[in-house]
Amino acid sequence: MADSSSVGTAPSPATSNRSTTPTSDNFRDFISSGWAGRPDVPPSPRAQAAFAAARRMRVAARFPGATLVIPAGPAKVRSNDTDYPYRAHSAFSYLTGWASDTVPGSVLVIGPGDDAPSTLYFTPTAGRDSEEFYANAAIGEFWTGARPSLAHVAADLGLETRPLGELAVSGEQVLVLRGLDAAADALAAARPEDAELLRAVSEVRLVKDEYEIAEMRAAVAATKSGFDDVIADLPQIIAHERGERLVEGTFNRRARAEGNAVGYDTIAASGPHACILHWTRNDGPVVPGDLLLMDAGVELDSLYTADITRTLPVSGTFTEVQRRVYEAVREAADAAFRIVRPGIRFREIHAEAMKVIAAKTAEWGLLPVSAEVSLELDHQYHRRYMVHGTSHHLGIDVHDCAQARRELYLDGVLEPGMVFTIEPGLYFQPDDVTVPEEYRGIGVRIEDDILVTEAGAENLSAAIPRTAAEVEAWLARP
């Protein structure tokens, strides 16, 4: 990596112990001249622009008379002077349509009024006659590439654009999405309603528009390709002492090839690691005879992500006990899916899956009471083997709409256009003496992405093999 110590205007040797950027007038004159013209042709508005405009109107309608400030957020430091790959805050991308190509530090201001006039503030590309062009490692073109112009972004997103240095707001009521950008926070004194702004953006995202649903379909398709890649690489994965890392790397390659990145850290959990719900260390071997629980999703350039889990027998076929556990989990998933339709409450999906989990663990003699008694709120013994919930909303965040009120989320009524996961599991820890030894160390989860339709529901990930027989045939393909 090139030395990036010359942040800001070119420092002198007295102000930096690493900089070698020339500071002479002769150099500045030479580097600022001799460049060919570069016409800036404004593009047609991107497909998401019209949808983003409608979203801004819906959010603004919740705060009549208020000016709303939505920062994208700055880059975040990973180590010393290196940053994590940049990702704008989801609320900003949702309301602007600017996604993986967002300029860090941008701020959206939605003005008051029925038409919710909006302005996007960002730092445009630096002129080649400026020191910033070559000496600023944070935003200089030599370091990070050319930034779009104000006119380019205005045409692309259908928004008025201004330089970030002109950021200002007015009005009696200014609400800020706080904690993302210190400069944005300083625009107005904190108000109790600020917290309601993030909640409002979460709640309007509960029902996806046409653009979002199309992106979810594409994210699922790319994710299926990533799973296919992992299966194709299984011989190399098995041969490596840290095969879980190879699973992660193979899937991440697909995510970068077809999207922006992964939507969350890939879980590549083999053997007893599959009993750790959020295993992301991924440093263990992938051993024939074990199960590989793979929870992964491709995040597209629009930032919409899939979230899929499949549990694969590494040797190609399930043992009798593995198949028993696997098919019990699939039965729970199928039972939950069958009841999905507009008008039911979100919490009913989990309850339906738990009926199967309780029945199966009772049938196997793992519970101290009957399944019916275990399902009562003051017992829940079966939850020892599945402590997580069955569903969460999905979209521009992997755990989408997380700030929505409970009465609209867990207790909410399903509507067409909602997208969420169904992901029951069974996890028998390797040291759990409440289960027979043959079950210990087995972890199974099956997760699909579900769209609520007018008539019921669609499993967006149904094309990814699900039954034990389908999974074995998948692994056997040449």
- Catalytic positions, please? 81, 278, 295, 307, 388, 392, 399, 423, 427, 445, 447
Distance CA 67, CA 455 (A): 39
C-beta atoms surrounding 411 within 10 Å: 11
Task: Kindly provide the residue ranges of all beta strands, DSSP E only, lying in 198-265, ordered along the sequence.
Answer: 261-262
State the pairing for strand pair 419-422/308-313. unpaired
DSSP collapsed to 3 states, 126-170: CCCCCCHHHHCCCCCHHHHCCCCCHHHHHHHHCCEEEEHHHCCCC
How far apart (Å, rounded) are the C-alpha atoms in residues 325 and 357? 10
- 318: three-class secondary structure by DSSP: coil
Helix or strand run (H / E) with residue 444: strand 443-445
> How far apart, in whole angstroms, are the C-alpha atoms of residue 344 and residue 303?
29
Among 114, 134, 116, CA closest to 126: 134
CB atoms within 10 A of CB 37: 4
Pairing outcome for strands 67-71 and 174-176: parallel
* Rounded Cα gap, residues 288 and 286, in angstroms: 7
CA angle 298, 389, 350 (to 5 degrees): 110
φ, ψ of residue 421 to 5 degrees: the values are -95, 155
435-315-294 Cα angle (round to 5): 70
H helices, E strands: number in the chain? 15, 17
